[in-house]
Amino acid sequence: MGSAVKKVVIPVAGYGTRFLPATKAQPKEMLPVVDKPILQYIVEEAVASGIEDVIIVTNLQKRAAEDHFDRMPELEAWLEKQGKTEALAEVRKIADLANFIYLRQKGPYGNGTPVLAAKHVIGNEPFAVIWGDDMVIGQPPRLKQLIDVYEKYGHPVLTAYNIDDEGTKRYAVLDAKQITGNVYEVNGIIEKPGPEQAPSRLASLGGYVLTPDIFNALEQTPLGKGGELWLVDALERLRQTKPVYACEVSGTYYDVGSKLGWLTANVALTLQHPELGQDFRRFLKSIL
């Protein structure tokens, strides 16, 4: 039996200010981790979780994201002529990963706006949302773990990730009741409460399976912090009328929207790379 969740929304319309000047003309989601852009890891995770339609919400500065997942006949012809068969297969495979749909973001700033922009494409079915700068590397994929919980309970599911005391100062923390194993019912989300005020050691990270009633909740949600429309505010509104769950996911989380997280991901995944790992490990030992 296939997954009940076939569509994912990936917002990539932000300015990437934490990475300026590198992101002045290049979307942060297209920065490479080893040999693939961040966004390709996110799409591959979605596809490995049973997603068929990838809805990328962009702005006018994000053409590179659209081009990356398109066919490039000139490049392909050149690779073929040069006999670079492995590179040719790799490039062709990218365009065939999924059905790609591109939308332009309209409306107020905030991470709820790109989700609402996809309303007419989603229709009346459950869907996933993954941010373009959150990578969770592991098996099964983070999104598959969320979908499994959704298929059991039939209500929205958030990503929960175990953190230490320091993490409570950096992430929103879940106030949640354990239902079973790695599944929790959410009672609230507290933004960066610090260790004394934190109700748990579970961070609320990117990655959601949502039901289509989130769109009404978003339309009725007033603008919040910074005059922006926030998905978490709409989820809190939704939680008044139905359960919202969290899945404590396994895997390694990288905040690749930050310089340190991006560098960490590059080092960790280069060390795991079958061709580069050994030489890179030797290099690191030589400079440490």
In a domain, 206, yes or no: yes
In a domain, 243, yes or no: yes
DSSP letters for 30-56: GSEETTEEHHHHHHHHHHHTT--EEEE
With residue 145 as reference, give the H or E element that holds it: helix 142-153
In a domain, 136, yes or no: yes
Regions of the chain short of the pLDDT cut 70: 1-3, 60-62, 107-108
Q: Is the sign of the CA dihedral 144, 250, 101, 228 positive or negative?
A: positive
Q: What is the pLDDT of residue 210?
A: 96
In a domain, 1, yes or no: no
Question: In the chain, how many domains are there?
Answer: 1
Q: What is the pLDDT of residue 191?
A: 83
In a domain, 36, yes or no: yes
In a domain, 2, yes or no: no
* 177/226 Cα distance (integer angstroms): 30
- pLDDT, tens digit (0-9, with 9 covering 90-100), for 263-277: 999 999 999 999 999
Burial of 246 from C-beta contacts in 10 A (0-12 / 13-18 / 19+): buried
The SS3 assignment for 164 reads coil
In a domain, 264, yes or no: yes
Task: Return the number of other C-beta atoms located less than 10 Å from residue 122's C-beta.
Answer: 18
pTM for the complete prediction? 0.92
Q: What is the pLDDT of residue 196?
A: 87
Q: What is the pLDDT of residue 109?
A: 77
Q: What is the pLDDT of residue 187?
A: 92
Measure the CA dihedral 201/266/37/120, to 10°.
0
Q: What is the pLDDT of residue 60?
A: 65
In a domain, 163, yes or no: yes
The domain of 57 spans 7-287
Q: Can you give the CATH number for the domain in which 186 is found? A: 3.90.550.10
Q: What is the pLDDT of residue 62?
A: 66
